[in-house]
Each structure stands twice: as structure tokens, then as C-alpha cells.
Amino acid sequence: MISRHIPASSYLVPLGALALAIAVQLFGVPGGHSHAWVTVLVSLITLAILLVTVFVVLEHAEALAFRLGQPYGTLLLTFAVTTVEVSIIVSMMLHGANNPTLARESVFSTVMIVCAGVVGLCLTLGAWQHHQQDLKRQGTSAILSVLTALTVLTLVLPNYTLSTDPGSFSTVQLVFVSFCSVLLYASFVFAQTVRQREDFLDESAAYAGIHAGNQSNRALFANAIFLVIGLVGIVLLAEQVAVGIEDGLAALNVAQSDSIVGAFIATLVLLPEGLAAIRAALNNELQRSLNIALGSALATIGLTIPAVGMASIITGRQLTLGLSAGDTVLLALVLSISIHSFGTGRTTVLTGMVHLVVFIAFVLLLAAP
């Protein structure tokens, strides 16, 4: 047994995911109309294993996060989730016909789900439990300023450039925006971990109690190993999930399939972090909750856009990043209410309800554009 601190499922699931991924990559899945049921069955099994593996991987990441402490633990969770999302987006970009808007839809969905849905639930449930909650305005304002710059540069600016078609960047522009994304995110990480570290700390007794219960070095080493194994399995399984989702939507002639697929990817990878953020809010650790939630949105743009940009340049596939007019309005709305919500340093149930209403509007327009 690896460690008495780690249940069997925590290391069997990543190993099983990696084994299935290698088998699918080596032997493939029978194609053709006569084997359509096999493709569907394998895709469903793969999706189920992928979902379970995501949660198990994030459990290992969270165990390491508690040992590392704030804010390094939160960054580890964010990097793990972003690795999953980048792998799935790139796999789906390279599968079949070119789908230039998939990355845009996934990134936009992530921002809306985080800033409207996850943050709305955190503020509403946290305030319902504790009447009102306080946060550090310096840290939260820093996150929002970087998030605003990243979203406008990557999702709005492409609609107003002149070198290429509306909504897209030229190669030089894409390289420049990708560099700016990495630079801004790296600057944020430096501020969060070194220069202004105290602005992002949630000095909560609840978190301190969890942090005090450190695991043994042997258990933490096992967490690190199975975190890597699980992430490799997820990366390899992403291609099979991409095949099933895209082929299924194509067979059903679903309109705006990229929007649905992008929202699915964002929901898939944000589930563990979203639950972690909600738990933190219920424990009256609002700043840590916002660090987890908003940090995942920052990492999504700051790391995903450069990755898909590089894939686009290397493969020659077109990449469309500019949002439609309706999505631009929703983005501006959720960013503006976030600035107002966190400007006072105190949140209530009403604050959370405003975010949830915007999230409901996003879901409605996704289903009925």
C-alpha cells in the first residue's frame, strides 16, 4: 500500500485513466457506421473516467496545496486545472475540420462561469451563512485589473484590428498578445507570491487548522506522483472525449456547437475548483475563495491563449478570438459588476444574487441565442 493516508481509489483511478488512454491511443476505436455504437460507448466510458480522474487529481493537488500553504497551494490548483483545459482545447482544435472559435468559446465560458456563476454562489452562500463577509480590496482589485486587461486584449480587441478579418489576429499580433498574456499572468503570480503576498492571504483560523494537519513526506510524495500520472491520463483521454462530443453534435446538427462544447469544457475543468471555492466561502474564507475562483479565470486566459496561439501558428489553422456583440456586452457587464461588488471590501447576499442573475442570462443565451 502506498500510504495509509491515501485511499486505494486515489491512486487506482489515475493509473486506470492512464492505462485506458494508452490503450485507446495505441489500438484506436473501430470506426464506420457499423461500429458507431462502439465509438459512443467508448466515448461515454472515457468521459466518465475523465470526470472522476479530474476530481481525484485535484484531491492530490489540494493535499499538496495545504502543505505548501497560501498562496502557493492555490496556484498549484490553478496550474493543474489549466493544464487540463489547455490539453482538451488543443486536442479538439486539432480534431477533424478546423473549428476556429472553440478556444474563444471555452475561454469566454470560463470567465462567465467563474465571475458570474462560481463567484455568485460563493458570495450568496457565504453571506447567507455568515450574514456578510469581508475581503482584501488590494488583492482582489489587482486580480480584477489583470483579468480586465487580459479579456479585452484577447477577446474584444480582435474585432477592431485591420490587418486580418474581424475577430482574428495576424501572426505578429497573435504573438504579441500571447506574450502580453504570459507577461501579465507572470506579473500577477510574482505579486501574489512575492511582492504583495500579504494582499492575497486569508488569515482564517479554519484554513490554518487544515494547514496544520500536514501529511507525512511519503504521502505527499505519493500525491505528487499520482497528480502527474492523472494529468498525463487526462491529457491523453481528452482527444477521445473530443471525438465523441464533436461527432455527436455534428450528427444531431446542433447549431453553435462550439459554444456548447466550450461551455462543456469550462464546466468540466472548473468543477473541482468551483467546489473548492464554495467550500472556502462557507468556511468564511472569502479571500481564499476569490483567489481560487478568479485565479482560475486569470490562468485560463494567461496560459490558454498563448498555447492555442502557438498551436494555430504551427498547424496553420485559423484562430478566431473576437467575441460577438452579445457576448461582449455580457463580458463588460460581469466585469463591471465585479468591480462594484468588491469595491467596498464587504459582500452580502444581494451582491451574490446580482452575479447569479448575469450567469442565468449567459446560460439562457447559450441555449437560445
pLDDT, tens digit, 9 for 90 and up, residues 188-220: 888 888 887 777 776 654 444 444 444 567 777
* Residue 257 located in a structural domain: yes
Residues 24-49 pLDDT 10s: 777 765 554 555 566 667 777 887 88
User: Residue 4 pLDDT more than 50?
Assistant: no
Domain membership of residue 2 (yes or no) is no
d(CA 351, CA 345): 12
> Which of 123-132, 167-176, 206-215, 358-367 has the weakest average pLDDT?
206-215
How far is residue 211 from each of residues 63, 257, 280, 287, 318, measured CA to CA in Å? 9, 43, 13, 16, 46
Lowest mean pLDDT among 158-167, 198-207, 293-302, 325-334: 198-207
What is the rounded distance in angstroms from the CA atom of residue 137 to the CA atom of residue 340? 11
- Bridge partners (DSSP) of residue 320 are 168
pTM of the model: 0.82
245-253: Cβ within 8 A, 24+ apart: 245/43, 245/92, 246/92, 246/95, 246/96, 246/99, 247/39, 248/40, 248/43
Q: How many structural domains does the chain have?
A: 1
Buried b (16+ CB within 10 A) or exposed e, 328-338: bebbebbbebb
Mean pLDDT value of segment 267-293: 84
In this prediction, residue 145 carries a pLDDT of: 93
Q: Can you give the pLDDT at residue 5?
A: 53
Flag whether 1 is in a domain.
no
Nearest alpha-carbon partner for 307 in 189, 174, 190, 149: 174
Q: Can you give the residue range of the structural domain that contains 199?
A: 8-367
Task: Give the list of residues 6+ apart from residue 128 with CB closer than 8 angstroms, or none.
Answer: 349
Residues 6 or more apart whose Cβ sits within 8 Å of residue 205: none
> Considering the domain boundaries, does residue 3 fall inside one?
no
How far is Cα 109 from Cα 113, in angstroms, rounded to an integer?
Answer: 6
Rounded CA-CA distance 234/247 in Å is: 20
Domain CATH code at residue 49: 1.20.1420.30
**pLDDT tens-place string over residues 224-240:** 788 888 877 877 776 66
210 domain residue, yes or no: yes
What pLDDT does residue 70 have?
A: 63
Q: How far apart are CA 127 and CA 354, in angstroms?
A: 13
- 201 located within any domain: yes
Q: 100 vs 121, which has greater pLDDT? A: 121
Q: Label residue 103 by pLDDT band (50, 70, 90).
A: confident
Residue 48 counted as domain residue: yes
Report DSSP letters for 179-190, one per residue: HHHHHHHHHHHH
- Residue 46 near residue 237, CB atoms below 8 Å: yes
